[in-house]
Chain A
Amino acid sequence: MTDAPETPVRRVQEIDARYVELDSTLYTESVVFRVCHLFTDRCSISLERLDGPRLRLRFQSRDGADPDQAIRQFNNELINQRVRADIAAETQKIRELIVAQAFAEADVGRIT
């Protein structure tokens, strides 16, 4: 996590804003966007791509939500979401097999 840029005007306009930088080689865009979506109830989040593989996320908390707590939760959820993505990738073929077999053997009843 980094602090807001040291410009007086920006500091006034962006009170309670927080910035997080991420390495997109650790977290894919899909993972980052899924976690961002999950936090849209308590934060307004915008993303920008920096040089190289780094992403910068700007958090503006909503309705009195604690921005620092939100960012701590966000960081933990990033790890969960990365693990979910890994599990989904590893098990995708088996899942497709299960679903395909389930519906292939289904009795769809009468169609008139």
Chain B
Amino acid sequence: MPVTFHTREHFAPPTDGYGLLPFRFLDFDGRKFLVNEVGEHLFLEQATFEAFVSHHLAPSSSEYSDLKSKHFLFDSGADLPVSLLATKYRTKRSFLAGFTGLHIFVVSLRCDHSCHYCQVSRVSVNRQKYDMSEETAHRAIDLVFRSPANPLKIEFQGGEPLLNFELIQLIVTEVEHRAALDGRLVEFVIATNLAFLSDEVLSFCRAHEVLISTSLDGPAFLHNANRPRPGNDSYEVATRSIERVREELGYDRVSALMTTSRLSLDHPIEIVDEYVARGFDHIFLRPVSPYGFALRTRNKTGYELDEFLSFYRTALAYIIELNRSGTFLVEDYAKILLTKILTPFPTGYVDLQSPAGIGIGVAVYNYDGDVYVSDEARMLAEMGDKSFRLGNVHQSSYEELFLGEKLKSLIADTVIESLPVCADCAFQSYCGSDPLENFATQGSVVGHRPTSHFHKRNFEIISHLIRLYYGDDPFLRPLFWSWINNRPVRDLVPGMS
């Protein structure tokens, strides 16, 4: 049977005009940067942009083809791509279907460390009244299993959660049992300073596949300055224990997070080198959160946004050079943003989504049974502000906590598609809302974007990554894709580092 082809005229540019599809734009280094409803983007010269939006762009131009293939315009030459765009839109927001996947149990407020930036009030290790009770844990577990999410993630925090290890054992055992009955997958993480790591803890973690997350702020002088404890040996304890966890549980069963203090700002290279020396292939360059002791000890921990951005750019540049010379190291915040910029997939990072992940992505069960919309919310509560407390496990039903007007109202104020400035921002689909930071620093959940550090920090980092990706360095595109795929560049592009 002969193959039938369309005539030559079928492929000719349409002559009856074109329509615009939804998109946002901003001025970017002398050009226009356009982003459509699902995050696809391109640059246009100013004159081309003016021709495009005034419906005068020539169908024979290369920009017309780019705009059409990336869904910025439609014409009679193809069907209106509503279904395709709807599929991509739904994919980008698929995090909404996993309602409250992360449940944080604050099993103890007690801690042996007295970190300057600690985000909760710490108390003496002897004060048992700051431990979560078994009854509170059981009530919280009941609430966890009302959440429709699958898989579930249970994270233990403190204080230092290993100071109440008996309760961790109880919760893990009970959750595993109920997950098996309910047909759910579940993952456990203990966020610990590792000072109380023991054979018993390691044995339990091995048997129940519990992951370990710890803090590593940099080399010894920096880590110990940021994280004081009796003996001033937090660094030695942490690094020794990291090796022990790797030997007993497996190399990838322990991860580390760093927090940028004022002292850190002068040592970006040393911090990155420390992560490489300790065998980590990920580092997350995190600014200090404006909560808890970070506010009270502002002289030691606080700094200006521009200082952090300078620190971030320096560290990122060094990480890029390490990768170029063959050391695979991912900067996790860049990876999250690049995934949002370059792919249609959500990242699971609850602090950068719209609506925000408060309550619907994460819930926190405090030691006393109070339920908060996020870890930052209980930090604010420890400072005396319980604005983000949803209720208490002993007094409130699931419906009151998670389907009530309080959470709905908070969530509505974090939909950036309708927030001032965000509504018109070209980076909207790459960014998110942080109602807690807005509230803590600006006094309202909605916040004031023109003076918001959260807004400026993300705007500057997103801009920086776009400049790098579309700049002159041919190594950066494969490198950034290697970060998105979590594989060294040489695995993606043979012959490259």
A96: nearest chain-B partner, CB-CB: B22
Contact with B along A75-103 (1 / 0, CB 8 A): 01000110110111011101101110111
Contact B82 A98 (CB under 8 A): yes
Counting contact residues on chain B (CB < 8 A from A), the size range is: 35 or more
Q: How far is it, in angstroms, between the C-alpha of A110 and the C-alpha of B98 when the chains are bound?
A: 9
Q: Is A41 among interface residues, defined by CB-CB distance under 8 A?
A: yes
Q: Contacts A94-B82, A95-B37; is A102 near B93 (CB within 8 Å)?
A: yes
- The count of residues in chain A whose C-beta lies closer than 8 Å to any C-beta of chain B is 34
Contact A84 B450 (CB under 8 A): no
Contact A38 B421 (CB under 8 A): yes
A86 to chain B, nearest CB (A): 7
Q: Contacts A40-B448, A102-B93; is A81 near B82 (CB within 8 Å)?
A: no
Contact A87 B450 (CB under 8 A): no
Q: Give the contacts of B139-158 with A (CB-CB under 8 A).
A: 146, 148-150
Q: Is A106 among interface residues, defined by CB-CB distance under 8 A?
A: yes
Enumerate chain B residues within 8 angstroms of A110, measured Cβ to Cβ: 148, 150
Q: How far is it, in angstroms, between the C-alpha of A84 and the C-alpha of B86 when the chains are bound?
A: 22
B130 to chain A, nearest CB (A): 32
Enumerate chain B residues within 8 angstroms of A108, measured Cβ to Cβ: 97
Enumerate chain B residues within 8 angstroms of A101, measured Cβ to Cβ: 82-83, 86
B28 to chain A, nearest CB (A): 12
Q: Is A111 among interface residues, defined by CB-CB distance under 8 A?
A: yes
Contact A39 B450 (CB under 8 A): yes
A91: nearest chain-B partner, CB-CB: B22
Contact B53 A87 (CB under 8 A): yes
Contact B86 A105 (CB under 8 A): yes
Enumerate chain A residues within 8 angstroms of B80, measured Cβ to Cβ: 94
B426 to chain A, nearest CB (A): 10
A48 to chain B, nearest CB (A): 22
Contact B89 A40 (CB under 8 A): no
Contact A38 B450 (CB under 8 A): yes
Enumerate chain B residues within 8 angstroms of A112, measured Cβ to Cβ: 146, 148
Contact with A along B65-102 (1 / 0, CB 8 A): 00000000000000010110111011001001111000
Q: Is B451 among interface residues, defined by CB-CB distance under 8 A?
A: yes
A30 to chain B, nearest CB (A): 11
Enumerate chain B residues within 8 angstroms of A109, measured Cβ to Cβ: 97-99, 148-150
Contact B448 A94 (CB under 8 A): no
B173 to chain A, nearest CB (A): 22
Contact A105 B90 (CB under 8 A): yes
Q: How far is it, in angstroms, between the C-alpha of A84 and the C-alpha of B98 when the chains are bound?
A: 33
Interface of B is mostly: mixed
Contact A98 B85 (CB under 8 A): yes
Enumerate chain A residues within 8 angstroms of B83, measured Cβ to Cβ: 101
Contact with A along B412-451 (1 / 0, CB 8 A): 0000000011001000000000000000000000001111
Q: How far is it, in angstroms, between the C-alpha of A51 and the C-alpha of B20 when the chains are bound?
A: 36
Contact A99 B82 (CB under 8 A): no
Enumerate chain B residues within 8 angstroms of A41, measured Cβ to Cβ: 450-451
Contact B22 A94 (CB under 8 A): yes
Q: Name the one of B20, B27, B93 contacting A87, with C-beta atoms under 8 angstroms.
A: B20
Q: Give the contacts of B145-204 with A (CB-CB under 8 A).
A: 146, 148-150
A15 to chain B, nearest CB (A): 23
Q: Name the residue in A87, A95, A98 with the highest tally of chain B Cβ atoms < 10 Å from its Cβ.
A: A98
Contact B424 A81 (CB under 8 A): yes
Q: Is A37 among interface residues, defined by CB-CB distance under 8 A?
A: yes
Contact A102 B98 (CB under 8 A): no
Contact A84 B424 (CB under 8 A): yes
Q: Name the one of A37, A86, A87 contacting B421, with C-beta atoms under 8 angstroms.
A: A37
B184: nearest chain-A partner, CB-CB: A110
A33 to chain B, nearest CB (A): 9
Q: Name the one of A42, A84, A97, A107 contacting B25, with C-beta atoms under 8 angstroms.
A: A84
B interface residues, Cβ below 8 angstroms from A: 19-27, 37, 53, 80, 82-83, 85-87, 89-90, 93, 96-99, 146, 148-150, 420-421, 424, 448-451
Name 11 interchain pairs, CB-CB below 8 A, sorted by A.
A40-B450, A84-B25, A90-B20, A91-B22, A92-B22, A94-B19, A94-B80, A97-B82, A97-B86, A101-B83, A101-B86
Q: Which 5 residue pairs of A and B lie closest in terms of their CB atoms, listed nearest first? A: A41-B450, A101-B86, A95-B22, A102-B89, A91-B22
User: Given known contacts A38-B449, A91-B20, A98-B89, what 20 new A-B pairs fall within 8 Å (CB)?
Assistant: A34-B420, A42-B450, A80-B26, A86-B53, A87-B22, A92-B22, A94-B19, A94-B21, A94-B82, A97-B82, A98-B85, A102-B86, A102-B87, A102-B89, A102-B90, A102-B93, A109-B97, A109-B99, A109-B148, A109-B149
